[in-house]
């Protein structure tokens, strides 16, 4: 077992083990990737205040997200195609999250189905919905998530249409990969991945195949999304979905103060300040830059979480100290999953937890609940002065 000291180590192993098309799928942003890059580089602009001679015994990173106990303020974000990064990927990631004591979110675009993940785990997970232009499918999938005991519905509001990632088109991204010469050549060097895939029956979109009619080719993500995703999703429809669900709701993909206010008005339990990991509107602000204005506007009315760009426990600390009640990680756990399955996701969570715990201590705080803006040094012009 190689010595893994940070998330970057997992990414290096992941790159060697996963087929190129799935590595590229995860490690890309839309168009020029400006927002994708800034999601991480903007975190680096914030500095931490070192404090000394404070009693550091009895520390804890435990807290709550939407009223649920969590070992640290981190949930696994919904990530499509995890079961292509590693055989049975969603089940493995959910198990790692469950053992660690953090929430796992299953994507609509997962390989393992809702029922499959529920059967192979014991803690309730969150379910992320993409709405299709098919009311029956939307109703059914909500009922399936209820029947599986999911404890929250995550409604993704920033993907009615798909931002373009050049590499996905060039690689012909599909699940499973098509038998082209380029794919055979690549897969011949990824034998451990291939062996895993041969041993599982889960190789298609488990929530979709067999549940939707009239789809020309569900294996091809971009054409399928263009054909079936509901471009008319608006606040009215969001409200209807919330009513249909009737339980805890998280609105994911809020990046603007006005939208945050609308989300609070519709009565969601939480929002995730997110630009989808830089995969949707290229040129949008990084999530961390938009966090403070959004918290200042709605933080007393609705729980605010953040994702996009988190690669370390220090990043989690910065978001929480700025006022987020929790965070989500996407790529940081995918690297672990693709590198070494469940053990890799566990390792990613351990790395982030240790970084959070030690950095919190070095900032002079013992509990995540004690973190506030006083531990941060934020550049004066961090949010920038922009004209509309």
Ligand X SMILES: Cc1cc2nc3c(=O)[nH]c(=O)nc-3n(C[C@H](O)[C@H](O)[C@H](O)COP(=O)(O)O)c2cc1C
> Could you tell me which of 89, 139, 138, 86 has the C-alpha nearest to residue 113?
89
* Contact criterion met (CB below 8 Å) for 164 and 135: no
Q: Which residue is nearest to ligand X (CB)?
A: 330
Residue 175 has a CB neighbour count (10 Å cut-off) of 22
Interaction between residue 132 and ligand X (CB under 6 A): no
Interaction between residue 113 and ligand X (CB under 6 A): no
Interaction between residue 326 and ligand X (CB under 6 A): no
Residues 6+ apart with CB under 8 A from 46: 288, 318, 376, 377, 378, 379, 382
Binding mask 273-292 toward ligand X (x if CB under 6 A, else -) reads -x-xx-x-------------
Residue 47 has a CB neighbour count (10 Å cut-off) of 12
Interaction between residue 308 and ligand X (CB under 6 A): yes
Burial class (CB in 10 A: 0-12, 13-18, 19+), 198: exposed
Indicate the residue among 31 and 364 with the shorter CB distance to ligand X. 31
Indicate the residue among 288 and 362 with the shorter CB distance to ligand X. 288
* Contact criterion met (CB below 8 Å) for 90 and 111: yes
> Could you tell me which of 314, 310, 353 has the C-alpha nearest to residue 332?
310
Interface region with ligand X, contact rule CB under 6 A, candidates 72-80, 117-125, 339-347, 377-385: 72-80
Please state, in angstroms and rounded to a whole number, the distance separating the CA atoms of residues 357 and 361: 6
Interaction between residue 39 and ligand X (CB under 6 A): yes
- Of 77, 284, 324, 371, the residue at the interface with ligand X (CB under 6 A) is 77
Question: Least distance from C-beta 252 to ligand X, angstroms?
Answer: 6
- Of 190, 305, 331, 353, the residue at the interface with ligand X (CB under 6 A) is 331
Please state, in angstroms and rounded to a whole number, the distance separating the CA atoms of residues 115 and 121: 10
Question: Least distance from C-beta 334 to ligand X, angstroms?
Answer: 6
Question: Least distance from C-beta 331 to ligand X, angstroms?
Answer: 4
Interaction between residue 79 and ligand X (CB under 6 A): yes
> Could you tell me which of 361, 352, 294, 301 has the C-alpha nearest to residue 322?
294
334 is in an annotated binding site: no
- Of 19, 73, 78, 299, the residue at the interface with ligand X (CB under 6 A) is 78
7 is in an annotated binding site: no
> Could you tell me which of 96, 193, 114 has the C-alpha nearest to residue 150?
114
Indicate the residue among 61 and 207 with the shorter CB distance to ligand X. 207
Interaction between residue 208 and ligand X (CB under 6 A): no
Question: Least distance from C-beta 107 to ligand X, angstroms?
Answer: 3
* Contact criterion met (CB below 8 Å) for 298 and 304: yes
Please state, in angstroms and rounded to a whole number, the distance separating the CA atoms of residues 242 and 271: 13
Q: Of these residues, 86, 166, 276, 353, which one is catalytic?
A: 276
Indicate the residue among 287 and 365 with the shorter CB distance to ligand X. 287
Phi–psi pair at 229, nearest 5 degrees: -70, 150
Q: How far is CA 71 from CA 25, 228, 314, 334, in A?
A: 30, 37, 16, 20
- Of 113, 128, 314, 346, the residue at the interface with ligand X (CB under 6 A) is 128
176 is in an annotated binding site: no
Largest CA distance in the chain: 66
Q: How far is CA 372 from CA 69, 108, 299, 349, in A?
A: 20, 35, 13, 23
Six token digits for residue 102: 């953090």
Question: Least distance from C-beta 351 to ligand X, angstroms?
Answer: 14
- Of 63, 156, 207, 359, the residue at the interface with ligand X (CB under 6 A) is 156
Please state, in angstroms and rounded to a whole number, the distance separating the CA atoms of residues 131 and 239: 13
Binding mask 348-377 toward ligand X (x if CB under 6 A, else -) reads ------------------------------
Interaction between residue 329 and ligand X (CB under 6 A): yes
Q: Is 211 tagged catalytic?
A: no
Handedness of CA 356, 357, 360, 365 (dihedral sign): positive
Please state, in angstroms and rounded to a whole number, the distance separating the CA atoms of residues 216 and 122: 35
- Of 38, 88, 282, 307, the residue at the interface with ligand X (CB under 6 A) is 307
Question: Least distance from C-beta 364 to ligand X, angstroms?
Answer: 27
366 is in an annotated binding site: no
Q: Which residues are catalytic?
A: 276
Which residues define the annotated binding site for FMN?
78-80, 107, 128, 130, 156, 252, 274, 307-311, 330-331
Binding site for ligand X (CB under 6 A): 25-26, 39, 77-80, 107, 109, 128, 156, 252, 274, 276-277, 279, 307-310, 329-332, 334
């Amino acid at each position: 077992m190689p010595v893994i000291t940070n998330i970057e180590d997992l990414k290096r192993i992941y790159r060697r083990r996963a087929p190129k098309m799935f590595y590229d799928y995860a490690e890309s942003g839309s168009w020029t990737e400006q927002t994708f890059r800034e999601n991480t580089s903007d975190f680096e602009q914030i500095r931490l205040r070192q404090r000394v001679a404070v009693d550091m015994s009895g520390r804890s990173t435990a807290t709550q997200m939407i009223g649920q106990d969590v070992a640290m303020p981190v949930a696994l974000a919904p990530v499509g195609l995890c079961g292509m990064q590693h055989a049975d990927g969603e089940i493995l990631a959910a198990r790692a999250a469950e053992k660690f004591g953090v929430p796992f979110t299953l994507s609509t675009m997962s390989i393992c189905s809702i029922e499959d993940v529920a059967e192979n785990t014991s803690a309730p997970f969150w379910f992320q919905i993409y709405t299709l232009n098919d009311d029956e499918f939307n109703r059914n999938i909500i009922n399936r998530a209820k029947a599986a005991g999911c404890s929250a519905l995550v409604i993704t509001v920033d993907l009615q249409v798909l931002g373009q990632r050049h590499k996905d088109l060039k690689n012909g991204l599909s699940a499973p990969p098509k038998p082209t010469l380029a794919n055979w050549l690549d897969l011949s060097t990824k034998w451990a991945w291939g062996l895993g895939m041969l041993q599982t029956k889960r190789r298609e979109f488990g929530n979709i195949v067999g549940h939707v009619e009239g789809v020309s080719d569900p294996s091809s993500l971009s054409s399928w999304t263009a054909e079936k995703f509901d471009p008319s999703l608006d606040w009215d429809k969001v409200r209807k979905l919330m009513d249909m669900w009737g339980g805890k709701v998280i609105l994911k993909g809020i990046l603007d103060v006005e939208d945050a206010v609308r989300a609070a008005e519709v009565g969601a339990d939480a929002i995730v300040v997110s630009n989808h990991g830089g995969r949707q509107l290229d040129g949008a602000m990084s999530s961390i830059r938009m966090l403070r204005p959004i918290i200042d506007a709605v933080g007393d009315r609705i729980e605010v979480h953040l994702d996009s760009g988190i690669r370390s426990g220090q990043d989690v600390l910065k978001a929480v100290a700025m006022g987020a009640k929790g965070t989500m990680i996407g790529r940081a756990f995918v690297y672990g999953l693709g590198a070494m399955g469940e053990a890799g996701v566990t390792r990613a969570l351990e790395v982030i937890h240790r970084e959070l715990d030690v950095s919190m201590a070095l900032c002079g705080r013992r509990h995540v609940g004690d973190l506030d803006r006083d531990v941060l040094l934020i550049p004066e012009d961090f949010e920038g002065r922009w004209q509309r």
